[in-house]
Amino acid sequence: MAERTVTTTRAPWFRAVSPVNYAERTADSIVDAIAHGALQPGERLIEAEIAAELGVSRLPVREAFKILAAQGILELNMHRGARVSPIADDRIETVRAARTRLEELAFPKAAAAFRADPTGLRALDEIIERMKRAEEHADMDELNRLDIAFHRAVVGAARDPFLVALWDALSLHLRIVFAWEVKALPRPISYAAVHLALRFALAGESDAALVELIGRHIAGKSEIDPAPAKGGATRNRRGKR
């Protein structure tokens, strides 16, 4: 396969990074570029060119490459530098399966925390309101970020540091998978409606129902009833991301 090198035409996916934690923010920018197709699987990355794109030195780029290589998102070769790893269907399925199991464990724990202190649901409500605004502007990038933020907030509410650490380890992969999945959707979805259904389920469903719901949700099987359920919740008959 002929090598491809990164060019200087990929803005806005290479967003300038702030001085705080250069390496992690550089890694985030590279993940965004992969998620949106500005960097393709198999593409070679050159430290100096990435550094010039982001306005940073080569050191944080080198560290970002190591972070992403540890996650399996990049491949490092001593003589050929970094390359975007192939993103095969089996890897996507592995990420989805791992995420499903983690959230099946986390959601009932989070629901118990929300029952003990319903004010914790406010963070989810705020994310859903932001989803509504992003939908009004057809901002898919923001919707993907909010989708991840919603699920991260639920996992965090479970108050299980081990589950949080495992979920966070998947988070960079999820950003890529989410962006790719959206392009393959046969129809538009309402992120706000889907996540509103999850929010009300967290407030009132049994643990068994939550586990079943989140499995269908991640599998992408959502059918949202147009009429609100009892208590004002939109009913999620079959789930969704």
Q: Note the pLDDT tens digit of each residue in 143-194.
A: 888 999 999 999 999 999 999 999 998 989 988 888 877 666 655 678 899 9
Number of domains in the chain: 2
| 224, 134: one domain | yes
| 97, 75: one domain | no
Look over the chain and give the mean of its residue pLDDT values, rounded to a whole number. 83
Q: Note the pLDDT tens digit of each residue in 223-233.
A: 543 333 344 44
Q: Note the pLDDT tens digit of each residue in 10-50.
A: 555 666 555 557 888 899 999 999 988 899 999 999 999 99
| 152, 55: one domain | no
| Integer Cα distance of 175 and 155 in angstroms | 16
Pairing of strands 74-77, 81-84: antiparallel
| 107, 151: one domain | yes
pLDDT above 60: residue 109: yes
DSSP state of 16: P
Residue with tokens 């889907």: 194
pLDDT above 90 coverage of the chain, percent? 55
Q: Note the pLDDT tens digit of each residue in 110-130.
A: 999 999 999 999 999 999 999
Task: Single out the residue in 66, 84, 102 at which a domain terminates.
Answer: 84
Write down the H helix ranges in the chain: 22-35, 47-54, 58-70, 89-116, 122-136, 140-157, 161-184, 191-204, 207-219
> Which CATH number fits the domain that encloses residue 171?
1.20.120.530
Whether 165 is covered by a domain: the verdict is yes
DSSP state of 159: T
Domain that holds residue 204: 89-236
